Chain A
Amino acid sequence: MKHLNLIVHTVAAWLATLLIVFPLIWLVITAFKTEQQAIAIPPELFFTPTLESFAEVNLRSDYLHFARNSVITSVVSTILGLAIAAPAAYSMAFFRTKKTRDILMWMLSTKMMPAVGALVPIYVLAQTAGLLDSLTALIVVFTLSNLPIMVWMLYSGFKDIPGDILEAARMDGATLFGEFKHVIRPLAMGTLSSTALLCLVLSWNEAFWSLNLGSSKAGTLATLIASYSSPEGLFWAKLSAASLMAIAPIVIVGWFSQKQLVQGLTFGAVK
Chain B
Amino acid sequence: MSYLQLQGVEKTFGAVRVIKGVDLQIEKGEFVVFVGPSGCGKSTLLRMIAGLTEIDGGSLMLDGRDITKLPSSKRDLAMVFQSYALYPHMSVFDNMSFALRLANVDKVVIKQKVGRAAEILNLTQYLDRTPKELSGGQRQRVAIGRAIVRAPKVFLFDEPLSNLDAALRGQTRVEIAKLHRDLGATTIYVTHDQVEAMTLADRVVVLRDGQIEQVGAPLDLYDNPANQFVAQFIGMPQMNIIDTAALPAVSTVAGEVSGHDGYIGVRPENVVVRPAGEGRLSGRVDLVESLGNNTLIHANVAGSTAGGVQIVAAQSTRTQLHAGDAVGLDILPSSFHLFDRQGRTVGRAPAQAA
B331 at the binding interface (Cβ < 8 Å)? no
Residue in A162, A167, A174, A182 with the greatest tally of chain B CB atoms within 10 Å? A167
CB-based contact B98/A171 at 8 Å? no
Q: Which residues in A have their C-beta under 8 angstroms from that of B72?
A: 167, 170-171
A170 and B88 contact, CB distance less than 8 A? no
Chain A contacts of B81 at CB under 8 A?
164, 167-168
| Selected A-B contacts with CB under 8 Å, 18 pairs | A164-B83, A164-B85, A167-B52, A168-B85, A171-B52, A171-B73, A171-B77, A172-B78, A172-B99, A173-B73, A173-B102, A173-B103, A175-B71, A175-B73, A182-B87, A182-B102, A187-B88, A187-B89
A169 within 8 A of B: yes
A186 nearest in chain B by CB position: B89
Structural contact, B87 and A162, CB atoms closer than 8 A? no
A165 and B82 CA atoms in complex are apart in Å by 11
Flag whether A178 is at the interface (Cβ < 8 A): yes
Q: How distant is the Cα of A168 from the Cα of B99 in the complex, in angstroms?
A: 10
**Does any Cβ of B come within 8 Å of A183's Cβ?**
yes
B78, B86, B88: which contacts A171 (Cβ < 8 A)? B78
Q: Which residues of B contact A162 (CB under 8 A)?
A: 83, 85
Contact partner, B102, options A167, A168, A174, A187, Cβ 8 Å: A174
Residues of the B chain whose Cβ atoms lie less than 8 Å from the Cβ of A182? 87, 98, 102
Known: A171-B50, A178-B102, A182-B98. A165 touches B87 (CB 8 A): yes
Q: Which residues of A contact B (CB under 8 A)?
A: 162, 164-165, 167-175, 178, 182-183, 186-187
Complex formed: what's the CA distance from A145 to B152 in Å?
47
**In the assembled complex, which residues on chain A have CB atoms less than 8 Å from the CB atom of B79?**
167-168, 171
If A174-B102, A178-B102 touch, does A168 touch B73 (CB 8 Å cutoff)? no
Instruction: Return chain A residues, CB-CB under 8 Å to B150.
Output: 172
| Residue of B whose beta carbon sits closest to that of A172 | B99
How large, as a class, is the contact surface on chain B?
Answer: 20 to 34
Residues B87 and A169 in contact, CB atoms below 8 Å apart: yes
Does B146 sit at the interface, judged by CB under 8 A? yes
- Residue from B51, B85, B86, B156 with most neighbouring chain A CB atoms (10 Å): B85
* A170 lies within 8 A of B89 (CB): no
What distance in Å separates the Cβ of A204 from its nearest Cβ neighbour in chain B?
A: 31
Would you give the shortest CB distance from A181 to chain B, in whole angstroms?
A: 10
Q: What are the residues of chain A within 8 A of B74 when measuring CB–CB?
A: 173
A182 to B87, CA, bound (A): 9
Residues of A within 8 A of B51 (CB): 170
B44-99: which have CB < 8 Å to A? 50-52, 71-74, 77-79, 81, 83, 85-89, 98-99
Q: How far is the CB of B143 from chain A (nearest CB, A)?
A: 8
A170 touches B83 (CB 8 A): no
| Residue pair A170, B87 in contact (C-beta under 8 Å) | no
**Max chain B Cβ within 10 angstroms of own Cβ: one of A164, A169, A170, A171:** A171
Q: Contact check, A165 vs B102: say whether CB atoms are below 8 A apart.
A: no
Measured between beta carbons, the chain B residues less than 8 angstroms from A178 are 73, 102
CA distance A164 to B79 in the complex (A): 11
CB distance from A159 to the nearest CB of B (A): 16
Q: Shortest distance in angstroms between B82's beta carbon and chain A's nearest beta carbon?
A: 8
